[in-house]
């Protein structure tokens, strides 16, 4: 039993070391470029304003980061050419399906807003609030909540400056994206 296990380990080591350095360099270069891309997209998303005409770029940056990670996971699963048992293949297919579902869920609201465009609404009985998220440095979020002309409560994400400016106001007219809850401009 020990001899068979050792032979199996030797076989794996031979696969890894025979020509593995060339493959290893390609994967590292590809992964480094991918990491830099994801970090650049996240950084651009962090620098985008919370309100204004560029809010959809922030949403698109979020989608790009999520889809890049999902596609990377899917490609790594597909590229693995080893023979697996049926249960492992089922788990791999489940992981691929979960990645696709996550990507679609993240992109759905933004896609709907890009298709429908911004809406204009007079919000009355407005309130501004802040919320501490579960993440670290960039975790303070500001929100504007108000009632539109149909009596529906609308909650929109705003910037810290808007939070200060709108505190104490009773109504505001905004052009906003319904599904993502982002304000394109104040009217």
Is the model's pLDDT at 65 over the cut of 50?
yes
pLDDT score of 70: 92
Model confidence, pTM: 0.72
Tell me the mean pLDDT in the region 45-57.
87
CATH number of 119-186: 2.40.50
List pLDDT tens digits, range 73-123: 888 888 776 666 777 788 888 999 999 999 999 999 999 999 999 999 999
User: DSSP per residue over the chain, as a string?
Assistant: -HHHHHHHHHHHHHHHHTTHHHHHHHHHHHHHHHHHHHHHHHHHHHHS-SSSTTHHHHHHHHHHHHHHHHHHHHHHHHH--S---HHHHHHHHHHHHHHHHHHHHHHHHHHHHHHH--EEEEEEEEEEEEEE-SSSTT-EEEEEEEE-TTS-EEEEEE-HHHHHHHTT-SEEEEEEETTTTEEEEE-
List pLDDT tens digits, range 10-48: 555 555 555 555 445 456 677 788 889 889 998 888 888
Instruction: Show me where the domains of the chain are located.
Output: 2-116, 119-186
């Amino acid at each position: 039993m020990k001899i068979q296990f050792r032979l199996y380990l030797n076989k794996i080591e031979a696969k890894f070391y025979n020509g593995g350095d060339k493959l290893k360099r390609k994967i590292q270069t590809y992964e480094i470029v991918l990491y830099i891309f994801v970090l650049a997209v996240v950084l651009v998303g962090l620098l985008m304003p919370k309100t204004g005409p560029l809010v959809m770029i922030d949403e698109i940056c979020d989608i790009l980061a999520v889809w890049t990670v999902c596609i990377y996971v899917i490609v790594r699963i597909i590229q693995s050419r080893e023979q697996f048992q049926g249960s492992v293949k089922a788990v791999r297919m489940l992981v691929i399906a979960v990645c696709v579902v996550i990507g679609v869920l993240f992109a759905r609201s933004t896609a709907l807003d890009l298709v429908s465009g911004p809406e204009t609404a007079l919000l009355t009985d407005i309130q501004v609030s802040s919320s501490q998220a579960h993440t670290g440095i960039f975790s303070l979020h500001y929100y504007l909540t108000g009632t539109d002309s149909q009596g529906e409560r609308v909650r929109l994400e705003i910037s810290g400056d808007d939070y200060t400016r709108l505190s104490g106001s009773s109504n505001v007219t905004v052009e906003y994206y319904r599904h993502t809850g982002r304000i394109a401009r104040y009217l």
